[in-house]
Amino acid sequence: MPRLESPAHWEQAAGPNVIRPLQAWLRRCQEKLAHDMRWEAWQLDFIPLCNRAFEGVSRFLATREQALSDRVRNALQTAGYPESRETLSRMALNVLASLPGLDCVLCGMRRTEYVADAMGVAEMTPVEGLEILSNFQP
C-alpha cells in the first residue's frame, strides 16, 4: 500500500501482483478441495471479503489523491483561473487549449469517462492560458 500512488496505479498493480496470483491459488485449492463442502462455504465468504478489501484500497487511494487534486485546483484559481465547478482535468485542458499557437492537446483516454470529460472542453469558455501558466505555483 505505501508504494501505491493512485487508484490508477492500484488498477495496474492489482492484476499481475494480487488478483492473478490469488485466482491461481484459488484454482489450485479448488482442484484439491472440490468435494469438500467446507471449501465451498469458505470460498463463498472469502471472495466477497476480497472484493470489499480491494474496493477499500481504491477508496483510500482516491481520498489521498483528492487532497492533491484540491491543491492543484486551488493553485489554478490562485493563478487566475476563474471559479469553476468543472473537473480538474477539464480545467487543465482548458488552460492548455487556450494557449496561443497550440493546436492539439494530448490526454489519456484509458476510460470512456475520460473521453467524455475531455470532449466537453471544446464547449468551455477559453481562459487566459499564458497568464495562468505564468502565475501557476504548484
DSSP run (H or E) holding 116: helix 112-119
pLDDT in tens, the chain (138 residues): 678 888 888 888 999 999 999 999 999 999 999 899 999 999 999 999 999 999 999 888 888 888 889 999 999 999 999 999 999 999 999 999 999 999 888 887 878 888 999 999 999 999 999 999 999 998
Cα(4)–Cα(52) distance, integer angstroms: 18
23 class by beta-carbon count within 10 Å (0-12 exposed, 13-18 middle, 19+ buried): exposed
User: Whole-angstrom Cα distance, residue 2 to residue 34?
Assistant: 37
pTM assigned to the model: 0.63
